[in-house]
Amino acid sequence: MSVCLLLYIYCGKTCWMTADEWTLVLTALYFGPLQTDRLVPPLQTSTSRLRVRFPCTASCCTSAMEKVRRILVFVGRDGAAPQRAHFLQSLTGYLGNGVDDEVEVSCSLEKNRFLLQNFQDRGPRIVLKRPAFCPIKHLSVTEAAAVPPDVQQRGVDVGVAILLQTANQRVLLTRRTKELRIFPNVWVPPGGHVEQDETLLDAGLRELEEETGLRLDPHHVSSEVLGLWESAYPPMLSRGLPHRRHVVVFMLLHSPLTHLELQSSLSVCPAEVSACLWADPQLAGAVVSSVDGEDGEVCLDGLPSSVSVSQVSADGALVQSSLPLAVLVGRAPASGPDVERVATRDQVRPGAVAEAAEALTPDL
């Protein structure tokens, strides 16, 4: 049993482990001294195993899990050996000319390190982009100094976003629950962090199943990396200093099934997802034409005023409902509280997914 699994015991969850495995857990929790009075007496013991309930807060256990499981970004340019990316480092700027918001790079996942390089001779090229309002791009020296040291030491995480395209040209979007710490109540493609010893496809399929219940056979879907997105949270300096960084790998999966066939297999996790919908090419085109940080009208000709969505009840049941189209084409406000919307959008590679759907960008 890996440390990754052992640490998944927060908030009353339990896990069987050997004494040696438990030692690994304690070692992993190095973020603070672990006092024995924080542990509930073992619920059951034997000569070889303990069943332990660890009643710590979700935040501290999440921190422990991240320290063990996170895959980090390493960057190198002009042939130099890749180095771990700094939390406050603008990756698009570093690998590009420092001004433009996109650059072609090579990327690979090697020995649990995600490598980004601008070396021309190193493999296929892929586009890395950031939004024009990227907080890392606009961070002043004073603001950078105000970022807490523990945040600055985090590095840049790696995530995968799955753009699941059906046989009838629909793309799955999910709405994050209001209780999530990052981008609550925002519509995104399914996805999440890459974990130790996973491939990008493995991570994407795992996250897709965890969030939606859809279990896809990797041998029965075709996959393609569309592009990379440099993400920060909060996404704008007007909402506070950044405390999370990711490079998100967009992966397109083609399913031989229609959205109706896949809908019948949905078993959504209510702790993470509060609703889901299948966007057709026309809806996807309207959504991605409404770019955060830009002005201008969005053409909604031929689109209905509301969209059919599946709301998720507390027990995970799906209930058909409708959502105003205005919500999905709305832009992130420049200041003040965030609103329900589709997460930051920009074109990763025009025309790759149902003409526009690949531009739907998740924030982890």
Rounded Cα distance, 5 and 216, in Å: 22
- 7-11, 110-114, 308-312: which range is least confident on average? 7-11
Q: Is residue 101 part of a domain?
A: no
The mean pLDDT of 265-287, rounded to a whole number, is: 94
Q: Is residue 145 part of a domain?
A: yes
Q: Is residue 15 part of a domain?
A: yes
Looking at the DSSP bridge assignments, the partners of residue 175 are: 187, 275
Per-residue pLDDT of 198-255, as tens digits, reads 999 999 999 999 999 999 998 888 999 999 999 999 999 999 999 999 999 999 999 9
pLDDT at 23 exceeding the cut of 60 = no
Q: Is residue 179 part of a domain?
A: yes
Per the model's pLDDT, the better-predicted residue between 354 and 120 turns out to be 120
pLDDT at 327 exceeding the cut of 60 = yes
In this predicted structure, what is the pLDDT of residue 221?
A: 87
Q: Is residue 87 part of a domain?
A: no
Q: Is residue 246 part of a domain?
A: yes
The mean pLDDT of 275-291, rounded to a whole number, is: 88
Per-residue pLDDT of 89-121, as tens digits, reads 999 999 998 889 999 999 999 999 999 999 766
How many domains are there within the chain? 2
> Do 62 and 149 lie in a common domain?
no
Q: Which of 14, 35, 69 is the last residue of a domain?
A: 69
pLDDT at 21 exceeding the cut of 90 = no
Q: Which of 69, 98, 125 is the last residue of a domain?
A: 69
Residue 293 — very low, low, confident or very high, per pLDDT cuts 50/70/90? Answer: low
> Do 222 and 335 lie in a common domain?
yes
Amino acid at 256: P
Q: Is residue 170 part of a domain?
A: yes
> Do 305 and 219 lie in a common domain?
yes
Structural domain range at position 334:
134-359
Q: Which residue from 55, 43, 56 is spatially nearest to 17, judged by alpha carbons?
A: 43
What CATH number should be reported for the domain holding residue 232?
3.90.79.10
The total number of residues written for the chain in this structure: 364
Q: Which of 69, 93, 119 is the last residue of a domain?
A: 69
Percentage of the chain modeled with pLDDT above 70: 73
> Do 152 and 34 lie in a common domain?
no
> Do 38 and 177 lie in a common domain?
no
